[in-house]
């Protein structure tokens, strides 16, 4: 399949700007963090570049998914429970029945991703939101490291 390429835009790769986003989850499920990312980009006056996200945990993950119908997130939670059931005879069970399934769910969905940024705005698709997926049953404090790589607003573009 041959695709169609738009004209390319070039920006100076001037800076890496890093901050930590701390979130308190309440239970298993998906929490949208898109607004937090938008706030970060505004505060640092980001121009064009890429936003890298990294989650510092092994029983929660980062997922880009539909942000229109909340039923989608319910079904995604169900899908993960079916793929990593609590009663599957895990060897590692000292931290509770929900711990090993949470590790499996994290392995399948990942803790590292990026989103392109144009003129300080996330280039998400129409139906996309960025989510922190909590896989443990109890509340947890979670840290996401945000890194913008690119140019500042109003920096030169050619």
Q: Is 81 exposed, middle or buried (0-12, 13-18, 19+ CB in 10 A)?
A: middle
- Closer by beta carbon to its own copies, 32 or else 137: 32
- Dist CA 52 CA 147 (whole Å): 5
> Residue 149's closest CA among 72, 49, 6?
49
Q: CB of residue 60 vs its own copies: minimum separation in angstroms?
A: 10
The span from the first CA to the last CA of the chain, in angstroms, equals: 30
CA-to-CA distance for 105 and 80, rounded, in angstroms? 6
Our CB check for its own copies shows the closer of 72 and 137 to be: 72
Residue 73 beta carbon to its own copies: minimum distance, rounded to whole angstroms: 9
Cβ distance to its own copies smaller for residue 108 or 153: 108
The CA-based diameter of the chain, rounded to the nearest angstrom, is: 58
**Minimum CB separation from its own copies for residue 120, in Å?**
14
> Which CB, 38 or 137, lies closer to its own copies?
38
Shortest Cβ 144–its own copies spacing (Å): 8
Dist CA 6 CA 10 (whole Å): 13
CB of 31 to its own copies, least distance (A): 4
Which residue's CB is nearer to its own copies, number 24 or number 137? Answer: 24
């Amino acid at each position: 399949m041959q695709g169609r390429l738009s004209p390319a835009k070039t920006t100076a790769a001037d800076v890496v700007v890093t901050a930590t986003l701390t979130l308190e989850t309440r239970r298993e499920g998906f929490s949208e963090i898109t607004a937090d990312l938008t706030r970060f980009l505004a505060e640092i006056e980001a121009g064009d570049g890429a936003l890298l996200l990294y989650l510092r945990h092994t029983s929660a993950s980062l997922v880009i998914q539909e942000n229109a119908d909340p039923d989608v997130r319910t079904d995604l939670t169900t899908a993960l429970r079916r793929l990593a059931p609590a009663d599957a005879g895990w060897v590692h069970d000292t931290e509770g029945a929900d711990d090993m399934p949470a590790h499996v769910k994290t392995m399948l969905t990942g803790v590292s991703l990026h989103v392109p940024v144009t003129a300080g705005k996330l280039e998400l698709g129409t139906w996309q939101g960025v989510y922190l997926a909590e896989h443990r049953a109890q509340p947890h404090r979670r840290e996401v490291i945000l890194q913008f790589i690119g140019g500042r607003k109003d920096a030169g573009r050619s």
